[in-house]
Amino acid sequence: MSPTLLVGLDDRSYPIFIEDGIMAEIGADLANRRIAKRYAVIADDLVAKLYGSTLMRSLEDAGIAAELLTFPHGEASKNLHTFTELASRLAQLGIDRKDGLIALGGGVTGDLTGFLAASYLRGIPFVQVPTTLLSQVDSSVGGKTGVDIPEGKNLVGAFYQPKVVYIDTAVLTTLPQIELLGGLAEVIKYGVIRDFDFFVFMEQNLDRILGLERESIQQMITSCCRIKAEVVAADERESDLRRILNFGHTIGHAVEAASDFTIIHGLAVAIGMVAALRLSVANDLCKKQDAGRIAALINAFGLPTEIPRELDRERIKKYLLTDKKTVAGSVFFVLPTTIGKVIITNEVSESQVNLVLSRK
């Protein structure tokens, strides 16, 4: 098997494989990589039922020793309690420095497993096998790992890169429609922040993508991972360029939190991208026509573009100020200047933010 892409980070560089049905080939490929002696595969209960046996059989067939550890599905599990439970199970199994972890699942599993890999025995290798569109195009690549604490999401974590990422596009057929949509918001984001041609590809292939047509999905995920890999290679620790990946996330995160997470991440990002577009037009940074074209694509995929009327605007503003991306009380926004280019700025007035948050 040859990798689809490479994330270039010197001695921590790693390949990304993107293929339909790759789940059953992972063992054979891992056997040649000699990353670890044996593996603990970590999955939530639902994903373990769907894909646990395919992955475990593939490892077994390749002569790789592995144990499957599960935890209850859902964001509520992404905490230090689950982290401690899993760490204890690793210790009880005698997992040592020559062993590794495999994250089989969506963002919760990838972030939790990555953080466990970063800290257990002060660091053991890990592999990402993302099973949601969102984790395939975003969280499995780039090494952001962590857990939530009561004060906020992802407030405890580490930058820790995987050794390899295996993306099986076939798993998207079992993904609930709402999660597919959530992932598509992040997909559109990549076009807006860095790649006009990819944006046009999304416009032209909307039906094929929504119908999960194999080649279009393959091409779409490859483009997203290519863009993410380029950005991460240039700025692994988000001191500069990587911040562009937060397009739509400033207001998006605040909307997500103010809805008590009843609005899922991707849909909140869609709302946040449209809000950012309005700020961009209000500041004469972006032509109305470009902003309208981006909003039209978001809408055409069936994603929301407006903040729900019932959401408390003051709560949204409170979350804006307590966001991780807020520095010294200054809220930073990623604003498009055209399709494929953005700038990062904190020069957005409170009255403009109020206008964007106001009910129509």
Note the residues at the interface with ligand GLY (CB under 6 A). 138, 142, 144, 238, 242, 245
Paired sense of beta strands 100-105 and 38-44, if any: parallel
CB-nearer residue toward ligand GLY: 144 or 194: 144
Contacts of 262 (CB under 8 A, 6+ apart): none
Catalytic site includes residue 315: no
What 3-state DSSP class applies to 102?
A: strand
Q: What's the CA gap between 323 and 163, in Å, rounded?
A: 30
Residue nearest ligand GLY, CB atom distance? 245
CB of 138 to ligand GLY, least distance (A): 5
CB-nearer residue toward ligand GLY: 93 or 234: 234
Residue where the block lists tokens 């700038």: 343
Catalytic site includes residue 81: no
Catalytic site includes residue 299: no
Catalytic site includes residue 242: yes
Catalytic site includes residue 346: no
Catalytic site includes residue 163: no
CB-nearer residue toward ligand GLY: 60 or 240: 240
CB of 343 to ligand GLY, least distance (A): 17
Euclidean distance between the first and the last CA atom of the chain, given in angstroms as a whole number: 53
CA 21 to chain CA centroid, Å, is 21
Catalytic site includes residue 186: yes
CB of 228 to ligand GLY, least distance (A): 7
Q: What's the CA gap between 323 and 138, in Å, rounded?
A: 19
Which stretches of the chain are DSSP H helices?
26-33, 45-47, 53-61, 80-92, 107-119, 133-134, 177-194, 196-204, 206-210, 214-234, 249-258, 265-282, 288-300, 313-322, 350-357
Q: What's the CA gap between 303 and 272, in Å, rounded?
A: 11
CB-nearer residue toward ligand GLY: 145 or 169: 145
Catalytic site includes residue 73: no
CB of 79 to ligand GLY, least distance (A): 19
CB of 231 to ligand GLY, least distance (A): 8
CB of 149 to ligand GLY, least distance (A): 19
Burial of residue 183 (CB within 10 Å: 0-12, 13-18, 19+) is: buried
Q: Which entry of 78, 144, 163, 194 is annotated as an active-site residue? A: 144
The letter for the amino acid at 155 is L
String of DSSP letters for 266-335 = HHHHHHHHHHHHHHHHHTTSS-HHHHHHHHHHHHHTT---S--TTS-HHHHHHHHHHSTT-BTTBPPEEE
Contact 340, 191 (CB under 8 A): yes
Token pair recorded at residue 268:
């909140």
The letter for the amino acid at 207 is D
Provide the annotated active-site residues: 122, 144, 186, 228, 238, 242, 246, 249, 253, 265
